[in-house]
Every structure is written in structure tokens, then in C-alpha cells.
A and B are shown apart, each in its own frame.
Chain A
Amino acid sequence: MFHRFPRPTRNPLLRKDEMSAIAVDSLYKVFGKGARSAVAQLKNGTPRDQLAKHVTAAVIDHNWSIEPGEIFVVMGLSGSGKSTLIRMLNGLIKPTSGTIRIGGVELGSLSNRELRRLRREKISMVFQHFALLPHRSVVENVAFGLEIKGLSKTERLERAREAVELVGLTGHEDKLPAQLSGGMKQRVGLARALAADTEILLMDEAFSALDPLIRQEMQDQLLDLQSKLGKTIVFITHDLNEAMRIGDRIAICDGQVKQLGTAEDILLRPADEYVAEFTADVDRTRVLTAEAVMEPCAGRDTSKFPQVESDVPMTELYQPVLNSKAPLLVVDDNADPLGVVTPRSIIKSLSHPAGDPAEERQPA
């Protein structure tokens, strides 16, 4: 379990019974002439690098859906098709084959006019380099989406001011983007997307251009806002630490989806070498909790063991483990025992699992 943030299974904003917010089905995007035949080749199992030279397969056979209120992170290196993917979700790029449904509506069936209306009402977007209008003040930039929606000037400025307050930029309303720092600019970008009041928020490498400290601050702010607003967020990043920090689920992409799962799934049970290589660099201590580092009780008498909650972060286990002769007993919300944490189990969960992913979670 992640510390800090509600996980999908507990998130009260997740309404599993409802229709998926976004669903993609055998989605392909190939650039270049002969894209359709390249898709047919890919469907027959031709690897991406054996396609004709003049075509580029960006998105290959994506099949997944996102529930309302979920933060879905698409993680991949440059050239992994993640920017293409996010632009297909709001129809800026047309898929070569496959379907995208937004709240049950298939994008391919919409006219350009209907597509624009869908973007105005359902989906907004935050950009890597902020994409603000340099000659407009903060509040006018934030009001941009509302202006497109056709709201009156007083109403859109009022709602823009609310969004500016939401992202903590009160007092900067009348400044120009050039007068703001990178982090503040991206807050304007975020406020613009929030002011549009759409269910879905697309974030394209939204924090990648920011300094590490600011980036972390923005991640926290996004999660804080998300706990209040419960948007459906698709977040693109090339930084696995970021993905792990904010994603309810993460899709690791390299053309295809290499693995789709929670941060823990990916960290502890990487699907293949490609994923395992990514996870090698992740700061595990920030991601893992007591539940993730425990091992089975294995018949031990646990009645005298000190107890810890299952969602205590790993970093807070070091001292108790060192100070206690007995292992720590991990308990759930009902105080039922789940497993034990020992120095050995901590070290084991820190070790790189690439050698044999399957064996990683075998009981000691």
C-alpha cells in the first residue's frame, strides 16, 4: 500500500459500478504511409522494429479502461507513444484502428463539431510547457476554457478566480505568465483545466519541466485537489517515481502496454525485463508500506509481537524493527494479523527483483 494517499480499493470516490470513464479497445496508432497495413502486420504478431522503415508504430494494441475518479498514469520513455495516446483520448489525433469511448460515447462516431463540444464539456488538458497565452493575465488564462464555452465575462472571471484560489495562486490573478515561476505557471495551467469543470483531466508530462522540489510540491497539490474533486485523471510521465507517487494504476508503455497494475504490482511483480529495468531505479522506501514488506506469520506465536498498521510507510519501520527483539506484527483495520516484518523481510523487499520476478514474493 502507498502511504499518504487513498488507494483505489479504498477510495470512496471510485464508483466501480458505473460505466468506465474512458475505455480503449484494440487501439492502434501508426504514423506514415501504409499505416493500415502496418496495423494488420502488428495484429499478426510482427514486432514493432520489423515494420517498414517509413512507418512508426506509436500505440500498439491498447486495451484498458479507467474508472471514474481514478488517477491512471501512463509511463514510458520518449518514443513510447504516450503523448500520442493522450492526444487520441480527446480526439486531437485519430486512431489508425480501434475504439475509444469517453463515458460510453465512441469518439470515432463524432463529427468535428461534436468532438469540440465533448472537449469543452468533458475533457480538459494540462500541457508540459504550460501552453499559456503570454499576453493574458493569470485569471484571463484560467478563464480561457470558459470563454470557449461561451460564458459571460463576469461569470467566467468569477469562476476563474475560484480556480486560481483552488491552486493557491490568490494574489497573482493579474500578473502575466512571464512574471511567474515554472511551478506557478503550471498551477495556472492546472487552474485553467479545473475551471473548465470537466470530469476528465488529461495531464501530458505536466510536471516534467519543473525542478524536482517544485515537482514534488505539485504532485502533492494534485493529490490534495484530487481528494476533494475526484476527477478522472490520465497522467503521462517518463518518471516512474512520479508514476508510483500519484498513480492509482500505472500502465508501462513501449508501444504496447508492457504492464498495467498498481505501483506495488509493478514494483514487486514486474511483468518482464523491460519493466524490471525501470523499477531498478525506483526509491522503494517511498513506495512500500508495512503490508508490502511483511512476510507470512508461518505459524509463529504472534501474540507478544509489537503491532503496526498495514499502511505504515516502510521508512517508519526501521527504528521499531531495530528496537524490538521480536518481529513486528502487521495488522489490518480490524486488528487481524496479516504478517510479520523482520530486518530480513525489509532487506528482501529492497533487493532488486529482476533476477527472477516470479520468486520475489515466495514465503521465506
Chain B
Amino acid sequence: MIEYLRNWFWTYVWKPLPDMPFGDWMESFIRWARDAWAAGFDAVDAGLEFLYVHLAEGLLWLPSGVMVLLFAAAAWAAKGWKLGVGIGLGMFVVAWTPYWEQTMQTLSMVLVSAAIAILLAVPLGVAAAESRAFSAIARPVLDFMQTLPAFVYLIPVVMLFSVGVVPGIIATIIFAMPPGVRLTELGLRQVDSEVVEAGQAFGASPARILARIKLPLALPTIMAGLNQVIMLALSMVVIAGLVGGGGLGSVISGSLGRLDIAAGFNAGLAVVLLAILLDRVTQGLSERTPVARAAKLAR
């Protein structure tokens, strides 16, 4: 019986079908895009490279000891002295490893790609919150962007931008953007409808309601989205080391090749500590938004 079904499917379904073409379609599209929009890709390439290089230079301009203190001060300002001390210790350990330079490169990549991802994500989230149709289209696209294995992005991106830092940043932007869009949409949809109605009842235009009511009230959720974007960006930036992205990713993929446990662990530790820094500081910032502070008062 099973054998019969197997034969039936083979004869009538699988055999007449051509080979699965989706991958080929994607490949021809990428090849076509590379030639058709070459100028555009070059401009993006140059722009991202410029941002990354200058940010990394800036972070490495001061000696690592001073930077450790600056990171501690930033954490203190964002949340409190306890976090400041904790982050100071963490960054001290990072400076102690031989990979301070790579860590700052990785941080620059994360900051550049997260900034661009959130700049794209917020308007998309607003559009998704305002339009059910846009939201319905955006959702499967976001699922796709977020769940497609991270390595898969690297292949076409390298074709378009060749190896180096920029393909890593591009792949990171795509991979890290979805939670920014989702949480912006969620935050805007969660805004108390009566408050929005109050805006309408007092004659505010839709743009004003968005700027004065919806966005401020959604800001804590949008900040949570920023936090997610940054964390995903960090995980992707390390993977981007495979395509010559530089930074800690390169150290890690290099030590994988050489089975160098010590180097791999040191670089991995730096990634973890950088993740904690970014996570806690952005969390601290989202607790500082006016709405989040007001909510704290209510308790």
C-alpha cells in the first residue's frame, strides 16, 4: 500500500515537476540586480564603509583604559551607579584580552547597522500600525527576514558588495530589523484608544496625533525593539566575520580554523561582555522615557 502511494506520487507529482526553481530565481535576480543597480550598490558600499571606518577610528582614538571609564560613565548615566560599576568591570576584562581593537570594530558595526535598522524599522512599523493591509503583507516578509538562517544572507550580499565589512553590515541590517518593525507596530497599536480619540476630539490632525500622542506613548515599546535590534545585530555581526567582516567575528572564525580554544574563548567572552553592555544600557534608556517614568510613579 505504502509502496503503491510512493509510486503514484512519483509518477504523477514529482516526476513531471521540473527541478525546484526558487533558488535559481533568487540567483538570477541577484545577478541581474548586481548589474542593473551597480551604481546604487557602490554608493551604499561607500557610505557604510565611511560610517564604519570613522566610528571605529573614533572609538579607538582614546586609550582603552579611558574608554573603559567612559563606558562605565555611560552605564551610570543610563541607569545607576551599580550598573556603572558592573559595566566598568566588564569592559576592563575586555580591555585585558588582546582583542580590544576587534571589540571596538565589532561595536562600530553593531552601532552602524542597528542605527540604520531602527531608522528603517520605525517608519515601517508606523505604516504597519496605520494600515492593516501593509501589516498583513509585512508580517510574512518579516518572518522570512528573521528566520532565514543568517549564513544564507551572506551569500548574495557578498556577491553584491564583495567581501569585507559592508556585506556584514548589510546582512546584519536585514537580519536585525524585524523586531524593530514588530515592536513599533505593537507599541503603536497598544496606545490607549481613548487617548487617541481625545486627540481627534480636540481636532488634532492624524500627523499630530502620531507625533504628540502615539509615538510618545509607544516609545517604551519602541525602545524595547531597539534593544532587540541591537542584540540581534551583535549576534549577526559575529557571523559576518566569516566574510571578512573584521572584528571579533574574524577572531572567532580564525580560531575555529586553528582549533585555538584560548583565543576563541577570549573573543567569545568579549562578545558576551559587549552584549551585556549594550543590553543594559539600552534597557536603562527605555526606562528613562517619560512614559515609562510616569508608569513607575503609578506603582
Contacts and interface: CB of A to CB of B under 8 A. Distances in A.
A196 interface: yes
B7 to A, nearest CB: 50
A283 B218 CA distance: 45
Contacts of A179: 297
A4 interface: no
Contact of B297 (A133, A144, A178): A178
A228 to B, nearest CB: 22
Interface in B170-200: 192, 194-195, 197-200
A120 interface: yes
Contacts of A135: 216-217, 289-291, 293-294
B294 A90 contact: no
Interface residues of A, number: 32
Contact of A120 (B202, B212, B213): B202
Contacts of A178: 294-295, 297-298
Contacts of A120: 202-203
Contacts of B192: 129, 131
Contacts of B147: none
Interface in B200-215: 200-205, 208, 212-213
B202 A119 contact: yes
A134 B200 contact: no
A294 B253 CA distance: 98
Contacts of B204: 116, 148
Contacts of B200: 92, 119
A148 B202 contact: yes
Interface in A157-202: 176-179, 192, 196, 202
Contacts of A148: 199, 202-204, 208
A317 interface: no
Interface in A107-158: 116-121, 123-125, 127-135, 144-145, 147-149
B294 A176 contact: yes
B294 A134 contact: yes
The residue among B192, B198, B205 with the most chain A CB atoms within 10 A of its own CB is B198
A134 B197 contact: no
Contact of A116 (B195, B205, B217): B205
Given A92-B200, A196-B202, A134 B295 contact: yes
Contacts of B201: 90, 92, 119, 123-125, 202
A128 B197 CA distance: 12
A273 to B, nearest CB: 34
A119 B294 contact: no
A134 B217 contact: yes
A64 B197 CA distance: 25
Contacts of B212: 147
Interface of A: 90, 92, 116-121, 123-125, 127-135, 144-145, 147-149, 176-179, 192, 196, 202
9 contacts: A119-B203, A120-B203, A124-B201, A125-B198, A134-B298, A148-B204, A148-B208, A179-B297, A196-B202
